[in-house]
Each structure stands twice: as structure tokens, then as C-alpha cells.
A and B are shown apart, each in its own frame.
Chain A
Amino acid sequence: MRCLFVIGLAVGLTGSWACVASAQEDASSILRAADRARGNLDGIKWKVTLTTVDGGRTNAMAFAVQARGFDILAETIAPARNRGNRILMLKGNMWFHKPDLSKPVPVSQRQRLLGTAAYGDIAATDYANDYDPKPLPDEVINGEDCRVFDLTARSKKTTYDRIVYWISKKRLVGVRAVYYTVSGKKFKSAEMEYENAARIGGEVRPFVSRMVIRDLLMGTDTTTLLFSTPDVADVPNSVFDLNLLAR
């Protein structure tokens, strides 16, 4: 009897572990699919336009971005006064250069880009590897059934400590995100649209076209990122050479 009990317990525990592992794998694969729609590609070039409305005043910037994996080189192309400014993100290290500087300077990912957008917001996401997902009850966002995950950062190196992320069940793209501070306070939210498409390996995938970020603390800032149709192209190693950033 005792033997049957132990066997039953072992089977039950194994089954539970398998279910948890399967759920985690399911969550990871969903996050990975969503990451692919936000820039996790072998080589891509596109333009990103940021517009921020702060207390009724509008500011705008445009960038030419080259990306490979999670490495990016973003060069400011508008407004004219900022043309030539560059941001290089390489293996989680960020460097900034502008014509007034004699050399690039290291900056942290928290550094603001414009309005409520951080430099990490124009980079590719790697939520599948950087965060532990905890499934939350499904919700409907803008008429779309979504899986919802509470993402907790696996290390202190990520841009955000905690994110609640809504992923469309049908399209497997992230449609909404709410970002939290270390103290657990909501401080900004983002909504994403995927009108662009990129042909990768013969397969056409949806790609992010618009992201609207709202400041939830002050409630006055809204930043809109518009992503152009991506140009899938090889990006050579020299693009990410820090020695060439100041040229």
C-alpha cells in the first residue's frame, strides 16, 4: 500500500513538473514568437520616427536603424540639429556619439531617448530569455483574444524589472505592455501595432509598425514610435565596430 502511495506520488509529482515545464516552454515559445515581430532578426534596416506630446508641446525625432539580433546602430536623421547623433547597442553595452563629442560615451539603457521612450524601446526585445513568465488570465484587447504574462526580470541587467505583457493568441505578437518600477508602481504603458511585414527565410512575418508609450506616473507624456517597412539585409560586423562610431 505504501509502495503504491509512493509510486502514485512520484507519478503525480512528475506529471505536475511536466505540466509546469510544458507551460513554461509554451510561454517561452509564445514570447519568442512575439520577440521576432519586434526586431529579433539576422539583419534588418528600417527608419523609426518618434513623436512626443508633453503638456501640449510636440517634439519629433527620426532615426535610421540597422540591427542584427539585439545589436543596433541608430543614427539620427531628423531634426537637422541632431543629425549625425548615433547610438550603438552592442551585446547590452550602449554608446552615444554626436558631432560635439570627441569620442563616444557609454550610456545606460535607462537613458531617455525622447519623452517616455528609452533607448531600449527601439532595440529588439528578448523577453523570452530575459524574463520569467507567469501566466495570468486571458483578456481581450481591442477585440483580440490575448494571452497575458507577468514577466519578472531574471537579472538586474534588463531595462525593466517587471512587465505585464498581452500577446495576441491568433497573431502571436505583443499588443500591449505595462511596465513597473522596482517598487511595483506602474510607470508607463505601451500599445503596439503590426502593419508591417518582413519576409524572412521565405516566410512573411508581421513586424511592428507603431508603438504608443504613455507615462502613467505624470499622465501628460505620450510618445509615438512609427517603424517603417523593414529592409531585410545583411548587416556587416563593421557596422557595430565602436571604433567607427565617431566617423
Chain B
Amino acid sequence: MPDEEGFASALWREAVDGLNCTARVVSYGMLQEPVESALNAGNVFNLPADRLESDVRADIRLRLRRLDLGVKPRFDLKWEKWDSGARAGDSDFDTDCHLYGWTAMVRLPWELSLACGRENLQWGPSYLLSPSNPFNENNGRYSPKFELPGSDYARMTWTPDSEWTLSVIAAMAGRQTALQGIGADVELPDSRRTYAVKIDRTIDRKFVSVIASQGEGTEPRLGFYGGWNASDTMILYVEGSLGKDGTGQSDAEFLAGSTYTLSGGGALTLEYFCNENGLVDGPITAAVMPLRMSDAREVFLRRNYLLLQYADPKVFNRFEVTLRGTAGFDDMSVDVFGMIQYDWGDHAQLFAISAVNSGGPETEFGSLVSYFAMAGVQYAF
């Protein structure tokens, strides 16, 4: 009995030591101007003009020996108002309590691990999007304060050493598009089960990954990304995928990028993205019908894009600044994004985010909202 009590007591102490809880409250006000365009005629996507939101985001994690458990409950309060479209003049107050994500992982012998849960499965070095990702190419660049929905998944991982990782993943791939994050009321086709095998290799200052995947009822795809720390200031990387779309046409995506860190700590990033079967000319509505027929993977609908970004996480040790411009060369539309965040004491951060989209209602960036702006505070307990 004393041995059992000692074991229970030791296990309890380990559990207490392995328990980690964080909670944040993110509160903000947002306003945006929906565009009257062929794509969003009469504000068909019901984009709200104003929003006030307060989210309580808790992350609870328990690491106990070979077990790793985590839950991410969320509680949201949201008020929205519409100025145009079918809901013009309406306002709505909503509360929502949900489990944003959860994880259960067990580390087995021989460097194997099994995990399941719900998580936003993301990878790759690129800022514009993640073309190698069969589950979700949208990496939430539109606003870092919005949480992208997760996917239910199961994963087996083998890490024989620190250079190699082999993952076998089965997940429900959501239909993520650029409409996420701006409050669009859009009905997307159901998620489908997608299987992927991912091999990661990391060697001296270089990394490369290959992802073979196939979703139910879709063609197989081969994704890849790789990067090279050319110096202590310069990183070069590529990312892309090859496959066929729902109509049997070749569907390749390729991104090349580089990041240069200045002596002051700020980083300049340049990326070029090419979407092989993206729309080269004509109104953006011409891409929507084929999009609905395809597997709806696309985050960007045209062919050629350029991103230029400056990000400095430590301006005067208090501010974080990000400035980003994304240009669609095929219709000459531009999306300019700026974010500034201020560390206020040990617990709070004030933030302001704005984006301006130009190019006109027939263009990709100019067809949904002409601008959005949000400001708020994030408090961590």
C-alpha cells in the first residue's frame, strides 16, 4: 500500500508539473466596406460592415510521461451589422462556445507516436499561402487574429533521428478559401477525407519535405517544400504541388521566396507564386464556376502573384510591425496590409490591423471588400 501511495503521489506531482494552461481574451472592433461587384452582387456573401467581437481562448495541455493531451475551448461574443445586401440594416448578436481543437498523442517505443484530434494542420515556409498543403492552403495571412478552422485528423509519426520524420496522416480537408476571415456567409461543399504521407528531412541549414496525398474522389497530388539558410541573414525557399484538377487538367502551383534579415532585426520577404490553371484575364467571376466544380482547393484564383513584406517583431522592444503588399499581376489588383502591435505591460497587447484592396470590382482583390480595419486588445492571463 505505501508503494502504491508513493507511486500515486509521484504521478500526481508529475501531472501537476506537466500541466500548462494559458488563457487569452481577444477583443476588437472591425469595420469593412463590402464591394458591389459581379462576384458579390447585392452583397450576396452577406459581408458585415461592422463587427465587435470578444473571444476567450484557452489552451490546456497535459504532458505526462508518454502522453500528451490538449484541449482548446473557445467562447465567443459577437455583434455584427450589415449596411448592404439582403441584410441591410440588420444587426445580430451571437454567442458561441465550441472546442476549437484538441489533441491526444502517445509516444510509443522506437520513436513512434500516434496522435488524433482537431487541429489546423499547417506547414511550409511561405507567407502568401501553403501550396504544398493538401488539407488547407490558406495560412490565415488576411488577419493573424482570426483563427482558421481546424481539421479532424489522425496521424502516425516516426522520427528515427533529428534529421528525418515520416508522417502518415488522415484528415478531413476543409474547403478553405480566401473568403475565410472576412465574415463571409458562404456555403462550401462538405469536407472530404484526405490521406497524406509526409517525409521531412533537415540537414545542415537546409530542409526539404515531400507530401504525397489523395482525397476521396480527387486526383492524387504531390506537394513539396524546401529551404536553405544561405547565410545568417538570408533564407531561400520554394514550395509547390503537382496534380490534376477535377476536370483532369494539369494543376501545378509553384512559389519561390526569400527572406533577408536586416541588422536591426527587421526582415524583408519577397515571394512569387504561380497558379498554373489560374485565370489570366477576364472578370474574376469567370473563375468562380470552375472553382465550384473543382475540388475548391484554390486560395488564389488567377495565375501570377507577388508578395513583398517587411516585418519587425521588436521595434524599440515594444512594437511589432508588419507591412505587406500582394499584387495580382494578371488583373493588376493589389492588397496592402499593415499591422502594428504594442506590448502594454506583461499581459496585454494593443493591436491595429488594416488592409486596403484596389483594382476595381472585376479584379480578384477588389471584388469583395475595398478595405477593412480592426483595432483591439489581447490580454493573456
A residues contacting B by CB (< 8 A) are: 52, 54, 57, 59, 68, 71, 78-84, 90-94, 99-112, 114-115, 120, 156-159, 236-238, 240-243, 246-247
Contact = CB atoms under 8 A, between A and B. Distances in A.
A93 B162 CA distance: 12
Interface string B90-106: 00000000000001000
B111 A103 contact: no
A247 B119 contact: yes
Contact of B317 (A78, A110, A115, A243): A115
Contacts of B250: none
B13 interface: no
Given A102-B139, A106-B227, A157-B229, A237 B347 contact: no
A102 B122 CA distance: 7
B380 A81 contact: yes
Q: How large is the interface on B (under 10, 10 to 19, 20 to 34, 35 or more residues)?
A: 35 or more
Given A80-B380, A84-B59, A238-B107, A105 B234 contact: no
B247 interface: no
Contacts of A103: 122-124, 130, 139
B349 interface: yes
Contacts of B160: 237
6 cross-chain pairs, A with B, having the tightest CB-CB distances, nearest first: A103-B122, A79-B346, A237-B159, A92-B205, A112-B265, A102-B140
Nearest to A101: B144
Nearest to B265: A112
Interface string B186-214: 00000000000010101111110000000
Interface string B335-377: 0000000010111110000000000000000000000000000
B380 A91 contact: no
A54 to B, nearest CB: 6
B233 A238 contact: no
Given A54-B317, A114-B314, A243-B200, A159 B232 contact: yes
B134 to A, nearest CB: 14
B275 to A, nearest CB: 20
Given A99-B24, A102-B120, A157 B231 contact: yes
Contact of B162 (A57, A90, A94, A101): A90
B9 interface: no
Contacts, number: 152
B249 interface: no
B103 A111 contact: no
Interface of B: 22, 24, 57, 59, 70, 103, 107, 111, 113, 119-120, 122-125, 127, 130, 139-140, 144-145, 148, 157, 159-163, 165, 167, 198, 200, 202-207, 227, 229-235, 237, 259, 261, 263, 265, 267, 313-314, 316-318, 343, 345-349, 378-381
Contacts of A159: 232
Nearest to A111: B261
A91 B204 contact: yes
B235 A108 contact: yes
A93 B343 contact: no
B159 A93 contact: no
A82 B317 CA distance: 13
Contacts of B204: 91-92
B261 A110 contact: yes
A111 B111 contact: no
A182 B145 CA distance: 39
Contacts of A102: 120, 122, 139-140, 148
A93 B202 contact: yes
A217 to B, nearest CB: 10
B202 A242 contact: yes
A107 B202 contact: no
Contacts of B316: 54
21 contacts: A52-B317, A54-B316, A59-B317, A81-B345, A81-B348, A81-B380, A92-B205, A93-B206, A93-B207, A102-B139, A102-B140, A106-B235, A106-B237, A107-B259, A108-B232, A156-B231, A157-B232, A237-B159, A237-B161, A238-B111, A241-B157
